[in-house]
Amino acid sequence: MKRAIITIAVVIGAGWLCETQAWGVTIPYVFVQDESAVVRTSWLSNPKTYYIEGQFQLNVDFDLGIASFDQVNATLSSEIEYYNYFTGAILFTDNLDELFNISELESTNVTDTRIDFLFEKNIPRFPSSDVYLTVTLLNDTLEMSGYFGEPVADGYWYDLHVIAVPEPGTLLVGAVGAAMLRRRRRL
């Protein structure tokens, strides 16, 4: 009996050690304020620019091909007006996450240098109201661009252009994590 328990424990332990583990990376980023903005445009009025300050976390699991945003604490330079189709109300916000639904975006394509995201609002008459976002990972910066249109005739368009850098304390940790990911992929 004792030998059977030890054998089962060894088999379970070996299975646990041999289990394929997904390697994920979470990096906190800070918006570069003068280079990160939302531009609201329409054919009825001149474009208006709202600069962004704050930070967010990008979570990427290259093995599983998924990515997401967490802790999006980003503020626009002033409140921006937008139309909420589901409530039928015109709302005001200075919260980037509320405007672009960043923490609710779903990754649709993940590569080493590019991640595509989508938030589907499922409004058949206004497919351009879905939020599209692309993240490009460069050496030590992140570029993000995205857009959506209001789900009304003659509504505003919202374009997002972001440059972000890792928070200062995470540069070393990020470099070590990237090295571990590259080493893991070669194995």
For residue 2, being part of any structural domain is answered with no
DSSP summary character for residue 130: S
Within-domain flag for 15: no
Amino acid at 104: E
pLDDT in tens, 160-175: 999 999 988 765 555 5
14 alpha-carbon distance from chain centroid? 36
What is the pLDDT, as a whole number, of residue 173?
A: 52
Domain that includes residue 92, residue range: 21-186
What is the C-alpha separation between 38 and 162, in angstroms, rounded?
8
Residue 36 within a domain: yes
SS3 label, residue 153:
coil
| Residue 113 three-state SS | coil
More confident residue, 11 or 103: 103
Domain assignment of residue 85, yes or no: yes
Tell whether 144 is covered by a domain: yes
- Please indicate, yes or no, if residue 138 is contained in any of the structural domains: yes
Domain with residue 167: its CATH number is: 2.40.160
- Total domains present in the chain: 1
Residue 146 and residue 110: Cα distance in Å, rounded? 16
7 within domain boundaries = no
Task: Note the pLDDT of residue 92.
Answer: 95
The yes-or-no verdict on residue 185 having pLDDT over 60 is: no
Q: What angle do CA 65, 35, 39 make, to 5 degrees?
A: 85
| Distance, CA of 41 to CA of 72 (rounded, Å) | 24
Has residue 178 got a pLDDT over 80?
A: no
User: How far apart, in Å, are the Cα atoms of 103 and each of 8, 63, 71, 83, 134?
Assistant: 43, 21, 8, 19, 14
The three-class DSSP label of residue 159 is: strand
DSSP-assigned states of every residue in 2-53: HHHHHHHHHHHHHHHHHS----EEEEEEEE-GGG-EEEEE-SSS--EEEEEE
Which two structure tokens, joined as six digits, stand for 109? Answer: 């394509």
Q: How do residues 2-56 score in pLDDT, each as one tens digit?
A: 444 433 433 344 344 444 444 578 899 999 989 999 999 988 888 999 999 999 9
Task: Classify residue 1: in a domain, yes or no.
Answer: no
Read off the pTM: 0.74
